[in-house]
Structure 1
């Protein structure tokens, strides 16, 4: 709009709406329009204005692109930090878990205590899985939004999902083993108790 008004003024368009009501100013405007040097420079002026306008649009697009990239960088860093926390938790608790993995109890009482401890640990682990599931959901959303690091996000998310499933499979296996241990010792103690001579 501004460029159009300037072009009309420089070209002396009668419909430009330039009418101040003062004949002196109209006379000055007419002399400006009639100036051959000014008329000759009109194309260059308009070209420069167009170049400025184009540069402005380019800068706005560049700013928008940079802002989008910065937002995605921030999202990526948050995602990576959350994944690192989950990997650290799984790694630490897996080591502790494996240290006690072969212990199944030598009596019904000990087996029952181990089973209760394991059940408590399993419940705590399920709370962690809620966080892992949330992280995987975020990963899917970032990938679907055409994030510039979509492939990296997909790789890390797949690794986290696989690591958790391996850990969860170990929990399930130990749950089954401890259940069998409790059942075995319970039955064994019942049999021994029945076969023990009664006190006189």
Structure 2
């Protein structure tokens, strides 16, 4: 895996459950109208910046897929899906608010929910995706639309040094592989949502 490749990691747009503070995990919640607007704003930014993106690859969960579809259509590039980009399964915690999780499992709920997918398993499938995708698309640049907890684990697994906390909806994090190291070019950027778009 030595050829340079650039991956633009995008967290999906806003959903009603995001707004309500509910954990989604693999529960297949659609984008809200605000989430669709956010995806459009990111697409407009990418068009304005003019960088070449060869395509979009997305989680198959509809909130990510629809975000990817909006990017694909506006940029005129192909859209692929890959189940390995799905959000972590949070088991019994899915559909609960923070207050409900604290009441049921306490402050250590992230460790104590019994049937959730482990960090190790999330990283394993994520790294498998990255290695295979990079082998198939050497020298290219792709947008990768996924989920907050999954993306946080990938930033750790790829040893980027990037801050993996509080990854915002429709944020853009660009990583470039150079000599088998992943270098963060842009981290958790939402300039397209506040009008401060730098080109």
TM-score, L = length of structure 1: 0.25
Higher helix share: 1
Q: Which has the larger radius of gyration?
A: 1
Higher strand share: 2
